[in-house]
């Protein structure tokens, strides 16, 4: 039975994880450990949030679950370190956990590669300066961003309060005709329950933060699971 541990910052949309556990079915456990800092979408605060000490604490909290892999479930708290720093962040987390590790930022790059997606539109909730760092991270991973929007929402708590219909509209309204997929990069946003609706509206793959984070954890554990309601990635991303 694979156990994937997730280190989640503060509280916002972590209920996407038990939702996923229930739909993935028997044989998968997705425990979540919370670490606390600020939920402000600002570079200095995000660097502190993703620091080695905080992630090591998250690994310690997950240890009792005996996870097969650990994922830092925070996009901005990983890409803000830039590609080399984010890689070092994951390496230190793996060392602290004694298990394979990754982060949501790398999950986006790996999920895009799994789907053969090279050009994307980004529908970001972050302020513009933070969103641009995600664009830079994707570019370093071979993913071209053909359009990027930033909603300028300052805190994760505000993102977590978005109504489902607002999440759908955010994704749909920021598509681009040249994009092969739309990326929605914030684990504070509840997206698993609306993925089907977004993809139906857009007619193309949608990659969202909690979706790719869970997929990445399963990938690290060598597991492939199919859930129709979790978008194209969970229908054919493991092929």
Is residue 137 within 8 A of residue 79, CB to CB? The reply is yes
pLDDT at 225: 83
Same structural domain for residues 59 and 48?
A: yes
pTM over 0.75: yes
Same structural domain for residues 102 and 124?
A: no
Quote the domain boundaries for residue 176: 114-207
Same structural domain for residues 19 and 76?
A: yes
Report the alpha-carbon distance of residue 167 to residue 189 in Å, rounded.
Answer: 8
Cα distance between the two ends of the chain: 21
Same structural domain for residues 172 and 158?
A: yes
pLDDT at 177: 96
| Residues of the chain below pLDDT 50 | 238-239
Same structural domain for residues 158 and 215?
A: no
pLDDT tens digits along 87-112: 999 999 999 999 999 999 999 999 99
pLDDT at 161: 80
Q: Are strands 69-72 and 32-35 parallel, antiparallel or unpaired?
A: unpaired
Please count the structural domains in the chain.
Answer: 2
Beta strand extents in the chain (DSSP E only): 4-9, 32-35, 69-72, 101-103, 119-124, 144-150, 181-184, 206-208
pLDDT tens digits along 45-54: 898 989 999 9
CA angle 184, 188, 192 (to 5 degrees): 60
| Three-state DSSP state, 113 | helix
pLDDT at 115: 96
Same structural domain for residues 95 and 126?
A: no
Is residue 145 within 8 A of residue 138, CB to CB? The reply is yes
Same structural domain for residues 48 and 69?
A: yes
Same structural domain for residues 178 and 137?
A: yes
Same structural domain for residues 132 and 178?
A: yes
Q: Any idea what the CATH number is for the domain that residue 170 is in? A: 3.40.50.12500
pLDDT at 126: 86
Q: Is 178 exposed, middle or buried (0-12, 13-18, 19+ CB in 10 A)?
A: exposed
Same structural domain for residues 49 and 165?
A: no
Residues 6+ apart with CB under 8 A from 95: none
pLDDT at 156: 63
> Among residues 185, 239, 234, 237, which one has the least CA distance to residue 23?
234
Residue 9, number of CB atoms within 10 A of its CB: 25
Same structural domain for residues 93 and 126?
A: no
| Three-state DSSP state, 180 | coil
Same structural domain for residues 164 and 184?
A: yes
- Bridge partners of 121, per DSSP, are 147, 182
| Three-state DSSP state, 212 | helix
């Amino acid at each position: 039975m694979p156990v994937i541990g997730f280190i989640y910052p503060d509280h916002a949309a972590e209920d996407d994880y038990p939702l996923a556990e229930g739909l993935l079915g028997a044989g998968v456990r997705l425990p979540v450990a919370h670490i606390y800092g600020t939920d402000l979408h600002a570079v200095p605060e995000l660097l502190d949030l993703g620091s080695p000490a905080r992630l090591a604490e998250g690994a310690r909290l997950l240890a009792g679950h005996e996870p097969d892999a650990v994922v830092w479930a925070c996009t901005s708290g990983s890409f803000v370190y830039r590609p080399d720093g984010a890689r070092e962040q994951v390496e230190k987390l793996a060392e602290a956990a004694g298990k394979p590790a990754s982060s949501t930022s790398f999950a986006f790059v790996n999920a895009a590669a799994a789907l053969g997606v090279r050009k994307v539109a980004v529908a970001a909730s972050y302020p513009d300066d933070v969103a641009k760092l995600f664009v830079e991270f994707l570019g370093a991973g071979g993913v071209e961003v053909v359009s990027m929007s930033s909603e300028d929402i300052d805190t994760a708590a505000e993102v977590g309060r978005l109504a489902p219909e607002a999440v759908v509209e955010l994704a749909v309204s920021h598509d681009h005709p040249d994009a092969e997929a739309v990326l929605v990069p914030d684990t504070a946003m509840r997206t698993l329950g609306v993925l089907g609706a977004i993809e139906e509206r857009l007619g193309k793959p949608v990659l969202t933060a909690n979706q790719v984070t869970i997929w990445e954890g399963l990938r690290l554990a060598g597991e492939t699971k199919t859930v129709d309601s979790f978008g194209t990635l969970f229908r054919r991303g493991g092929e």
